[in-house]
Amino acid sequence: MATRHLHHVDCPGKAILQICRHYRAELNPDLPRITVPHNIVKNMQKMMTKKAIEKAQQNRKPVFKSPLIISCKRPEFNHHLGQTYSSFNPKHLASYGWKHRKSHGDHFTILPYEPNPSWLSVSQRFEDLGVSSAVADGLKSIGISQPTRIQEITVPKILKGHCVMSAAETGSGKTLAYLTPLIELIHRHGQVTDRSTPSWKNSPQAIIVVPTRELADQIMGVAQSLSEVIPFKVQSYCGGRGTKAKLNWPEIRGMDILISTPGVLRKLLSRNIIRRGSLRHLVLDEMDTLMDDSFSGEIIDIIKKLQVTAGESSGNNVYVSTSTQVILVGATVPRGLSEILNDVFPVEAFHKATTDHVHRLMPHVSQKFIRLRPSSKPENILRLSKQSILKSIPTLIFCNKTTTCSWLTRFLDASDVDNMFMSGFLTEKSRAGRFESFQNGEHNILVCTDIASRGLDTLRVERVINYECPDFMSDYIHRSGRAGRVGAGSPGHVVSFVSHPWEVDLINKIEVAARRMTDLHNVNANIKRKLVSSYEAKHGMGPDE
């Protein structure tokens, strides 16, 4: 009988229910039936319908009219300009689950949403900042006619004789922000100084200290171009370029500006080859690197040998120095700067000249992050490198170690991809001219360590690839800043390969800053100290023990 009833039932579930009711009635015909009132059934149906609608609304993607800022492989993680979160948590991040092996192949891109913030919204002239027409004309002769935002802030403060800490986003024109007013002050002072006196020889009015030879060469090139129009003398001393001969048989040269790296400058001062009698200005360029434990000891020693005491100076037409004007310059401001320099001068008293985008992601540069297996990185870098060659895209490829750089350049060579290799561990002879060769367009790919990330004016770079994610946030800022610089023809883009859990931690912080429009977290460049701390935590001793 139960089978006969099944022929009239379409749903198997209902058929089973009918069978159960049939046999239950046969076994106990006196069992009462329990029915549900129609009103309760209707209310239950309404409640179920309401819950279904609410669930559908939760799953429905919100519609944003504002521009897309973060584009993800999984669209549910997309982020729009102005989008907020009621309670932000890590699960909102596209990179949240990237430590899991199944995340390989995922990616997201931070898209450009603003023009380069380094430019002023209102056009100005250098003359408006207090620069003489002679110096302004010199700047025009090298193609510089309008100041950038950091130059507008910094130039007047230096001209007034203040000790200044100047910090701005990478590629914003910080070199000219201090070089322009220095030349202006030297030009004013030169009008009342007899340069034929012996005291002028080997006794610069301004000393610029930089961490690398390449940066020294770059600043030297700009200064020499200006010296052809404005009367001043500039010299450069860097280690590894016949330093021993220079120390044994020193040359006597007239100089208004000296550009040098820390090691050789300390030796020149120790042997009294460079004298401090005329010194009025001391510039520490790339202060985060110079204040790293790798350099800070030498910098403190240099400051003491120069007998620098920072203070205020004043003057109208002629610059009158009562103490040495100290200028600190960088794209990032290291933590603990006051502690490092506290014994020589009070950093808290410096006049601050900073832009709003210090320690922030550049809003005009596209930045893509790709989750890859370590074994997949060679094929992906080969694909991008061949694309760079085919489409003539000037590209910097960053690695964390010289050994990785060396392997990668050989791998590309074996794949018939033309490239150059640059690292701080190369000898001076091997390293000379490599960056210039890339800048001149002889090669479109430069494989390098972070030596190429500090201060170099890579105007022609259109693509930056982090084959290995940097260990520190400050390094990411400097690397990505090689693209989209002031005066560059293209805003460029950055691509980062993410393969290890510690790299995911860095990317999480970058994505949080992009979504919340805040500063990047833990921007610090004291690499040597961090490496020592890491070594001690792992081995229970310092690397020298």
Distance, CA of 400 to CA of 468 (rounded, Å) = 6
Please state, in angstroms and rounded to a whole number, the distance separating the CA atoms of residues 466 and 452.
Answer: 13
In the DSSP assignment, the letter for residue 487 is: T
The SS3 of residue 193 is coil
Give me the phi and psi of 330, to 5 degrees please. 180, 165
Q: What is the pLDDT of residue 2?
A: 44
Distance CA 20, CA 26 (A): 10
- The single-letter code of the amino acid at 116 is N
Beta bridge partners of 260: 209, 237
Q: What is the pLDDT of residue 68?
A: 95
Dihedral-angle region of residue 355 (phi above 0 means left; psi in -120 to 50 means alpha; beta otherwise): beta
Provide the pLDDT for residue 319: 42
Per-residue pLDDT of the chain (545 residues; tens, 9 = 90+): 444 444 454 555 556 656 666 665 565 656 566 677 878 878 888 888 888 877 766 566 667 788 999 999 999 999 999 898 877 788 889 999 999 989 999 999 999 999 999 998 788 999 999 999 999 999 999 999 999 999 999 999 999 999 999 999 999 999 999 999 999 999 888 754 555 555 668 899 999 999 988 899 999 999 999 999 998 999 999 876 566 777 777 777 889 999 999 999 999 999 999 998 899 999 999 998 888 877 888 999 999 999 887 665 544 444 444 579 999 999 988 777 877 787 788 888 899 999 999 999 999 999 999 999 999 999 999 999 999 999 999 999 999 999 999 999 999 999 999 999 998 777 766 776 788 889 899 999 999 999 888 878 888 999 999 999 999 999 999 999 999 999 888 889 999 999 999 999 999 999 999 999 999 988 865 544 444 444 444 444 443 33
Q: Is it true that 68-115+361-539 and 126-354 share their CATH fold? A: yes
The predicted structure's pLDDT at residue 532: 43
Axis crossing angle, helix 213-227 with helix 133-141, rounded to the nearest 10: 120
Domain edges within the chain: 68-115+361-539, 126-354
CATH number corresponding to 126-354: 3.40.50.300
Helices (H) and strands (E) in the chain, counts: 19, 16
- What is 68-115+361-539's CATH superfamily? P-loop containing nucleotide triphosphate hydrolases (3.40.50.300)
Give the residue among 225, 224, 182 at the shortest CA–CA distance from 204.
Answer: 182
Question: What pLDDT, on the 0 to 100 scale, is given for residue 513?
Answer: 95
Q: What is the pLDDT of residue 541?
A: 43
DSSP state string for 285-353? SSHHHHTSHHHHHHHHHHHHHTT--B---B-SSS-B-SSBEEEEEESS--TTHHHHHTTT--GGGSEEE
Phi and psi at 110, nearest 5°, equal -90, 115
Structure tokens at 59: 């799953």
The model's pTM: 0.81
Backbone angles phi, psi at 306, to 5 degrees: -80, -10
